[in-house]
Amino acid sequence: MAYELKMPQLGLTMEEGTVSKWVKKEGDAVKVGDVIVEITTDKLTNEVVSEAEGTLLKIVAQEGDDVPVKGTLAWIGKPGEAVGGAAPAPAAAPAVPFAPAPAAAPAKPAGDKKIIVVGGGPGGYVAAIRAAQLGAKVTVVEREHLGGTCLNIGCIPTKCLLHSAELVNDIKEQGPDIGVKVSGVEVDFPQVIKHKNEISKKLTSGIAGLFKMNKVAKVDGEAKFVAPGKLSVKKADGSTEEMTADAIIVATGSINAIPPIPGLKENPNCIDSTGALSLEKLPKSMVVIGAGVIGLELACAYAAFGTKITVVEALDHMLPMLDGDLTKIGVAHMKKMGMEFNLECPVQRVEKSSVGAKVVCKNKEGKEVAFEAEKVLVAVGRRANTAMLDLDAGKLDNDRGRIKVNDKMETSVPGVYAIGDCVMGYAQLAHTASAMGEVAAENIMGIEAHYDQKTNPTCVYIEPEAASVGLTEEQCKEQGLAYKVGKFPMAANGKALILNGGEGVVKIIAGKEYGEILGMHIIGPRATDLIAEGALAIGEEMTLDEIIATIHSHPTVTEAMREAALQAEKRAIHTSNK
For 201-256, give the secondary structure using H, E and C. Answer: HHHHHHHHHHHHHCCCEEEEEEEEEEECCEEEEEECCCCEEEEECCEEEECCCEEE
Supply the CATH number for residue 41's domain. 2.40.50.100
CA-nearest of 472, 483, 555 to 512 is 483
Supply the CATH number for residue 552's domain. 3.30.390.30
Q: What are phi and psi of 558, to 5 degrees?
A: -60, -25
User: In terms of domains, do 404 and 312 share one?
Assistant: no
Per-residue pLDDT at 272: 94
The strand pairing partners of 74, in sequence order, are: 5, 59
Domain-located, residue 242 = yes
The three-class DSSP label of residue 196 is: helix
Domain-located, residue 389 = yes
Q: Which residues contact 454 (CB under 8 A, 6 or more apart)?
A: 470, 538, 539
Of 77, 97, 125, the residue that ends a domain is 77
The three-class DSSP label of residue 25 is: coil
Q: In what order do the strands lie in the sheet with 308-312?
A: 270-271, 375-378, 285-289, 308-312, 340-342
Rounded distance between C-alpha atoms, residue 23 and residue 39, angstroms:
11
Burial classification of residue 91, based on how many CB atoms lie within 10 Å of its CB (0-12 exposed, 13-18 middle, 19 or more buried):
middle
Q: What are phi and psi of 460, to 5 degrees?
A: -125, 115
User: In terms of domains, do 388 and 415 share one?
Assistant: yes
Per-residue pLDDT at 102: 40
User: In terms of domains, do 334 and 287 share one?
Assistant: yes
Residue from 145, 317, 450, 554 carrying the catalytic annotation: 554
Per-residue pLDDT at 103: 41
Per-residue pLDDT at 512: 96
Contact at 8 Å (CB) between 208 and 40?
A: yes
User: In terms of domains, do 362 and 393 share one?
Assistant: no
User: In terms of domains, do 250 and 294 share one?
Assistant: no
SS3 readout for 45-86: EEEEECCCCEEEEEECCCCCCEEECCCEEEEEECCCCCCCCC
Per-residue pLDDT at 99: 33
Contact at 8 Å (CB) between 458 and 468?
A: yes
Instruction: Identify each DSSP E strand in 413-461 by its residue range.
Output: 416-418, 458-460
Burial classification of residue 334, based on how many CB atoms lie within 10 Å of its CB (0-12 exposed, 13-18 middle, 19 or more buried):
buried
The three-class DSSP label of residue 115 is: strand
The strand pairing partners of 248, in sequence order, are: 116, 416
Of 380, 404, 438, the residue that ends a domain is 380
Domain-located, residue 83 = no
Rounded distance between C-alpha atoms, residue 120 and residue 348, angstroms:
37
Which residues, given as ranges, of the chain have pLDDT below 70? 12-13, 42-44, 85-111
546: domain range? 464-568
Rounded distance between C-alpha atoms, residue 243 and residue 389, angstroms:
14
User: In terms of domains, do 506 and 395 share one?
Assistant: no
User: In terms of domains, do 178 and 199 share one?
Assistant: yes
Domain-located, residue 214 = yes
What is the pTM for the complete model shown? 0.82
Contact at 8 Å (CB) between 356 and 506?
A: no
User: In terms of domains, do 297 and 212 share one?
Assistant: no
Rounded distance between C-alpha atoms, residue 285 and residue 313, angstroms:
17
Tally of CB atoms within 10 A around 181: 8
Can you give the C-alpha Rg of the chain in angstroms?
27
Domain-located, residue 331 = yes
Domain-located, residue 160 = yes
User: In terms of domains, do 327 and 405 share one?
Assistant: no
Domain-located, residue 359 = yes
CA–chain centroid gap for 18, Å, is: 25
The single-letter code of the amino acid at 86 is: A
Rounded distance between C-alpha atoms, residue 77 and residue 332, angstroms:
62
Per-residue pLDDT at 43: 61
Number of domains in the chain: 4
The strand pair at 517-523 and 466-470 is best described as antiparallel
Contact at 8 Å (CB) between 547 and 534?
A: no
Supply the CATH number for residue 187's domain. 3.50.50.60
User: In terms of domains, do 243 and 302 share one?
Assistant: no
Phi-psi region of 502 (alpha: psi -120 to 50; beta: other; left: phi over 0): left
Per-residue pLDDT at 39: 87
Rounded distance between C-alpha atoms, residue 114 and residue 138, angstroms:
6
Of 365, 380, 395, the residue that ends a domain is 380
Instruction: Identify each DSSP E strand in 267-345 by its residue range.
Output: 270-271, 285-289, 308-312, 340-342
User: In terms of domains, do 124 and 137 share one?
Assistant: yes
554 is catalytic: yes
Per-residue pLDDT at 96: 33
Q: What pLDDT digit, counting tens, does each position of 302-352 carry? A: 999 999 999 999 999 999 889 999 999 999 999 999 999 999 999 999 999
User: In terms of domains, do 178 and 69 share one?
Assistant: no
Domain-located, residue 92 = no
Per-residue pLDDT at 42: 67
Per-residue pLDDT at 32: 87
